[in-house]
Structure 1
Amino acid sequence: MFGGLSFMVNERMAVAAGRVGDLLVRVNPADYDALLEDGGVPAFMGKDRPMGPGWLSVPSERVQDESDLAHWLDVGIHSGDAKA
């Protein structure tokens, strides 16, 4: 999807790995602003077509080690979880 390799969890796309090491991550819209501060950037479908607050792109520079990758995978996997 979107030129990357997508990973599904519970019948939903959680994350897609891009060709250059970037990630497309499904996020809980309520967490969107905080995740922007954490290194995510708005995701776009082509020029000037934002995907909205349910998706972020994570540049490869923000995924430097297993801990970074685990963080963003956790975000994508748990994006549909209800908040307490």
Structure 2
Amino acid sequence: MLELRHHESFDEPKSAVVLALEAVYEAIKSRLIVSPGDKSGIILYGTKKTSDAAFAWCNILMPLGAPSASQLRRVRRIIESKFH
């Protein structure tokens, strides 16, 4: 008969920000291979830190640009350092 197994990834629930950043990581990784000419960026809304005085509560985490390995590393570092 089928039995349920414990999976380590379900031990701790993830926040919406972590899930969103993990999705961004996968999207950048996919674009590196499929469409390297596409541009993307990350803007966080509703933050205390503001990167541009003209737009309160908005923080540009990653400016618009073509996908790169350095973007992947940066997103991974953000996920690991701030949320783990």
TM range (shorter): 0.3 to 0.5
- For the pair shown, the structure with the greater C-alpha radius of gyration is 2
Greater share of strand:
1
Greater share of helix:
2
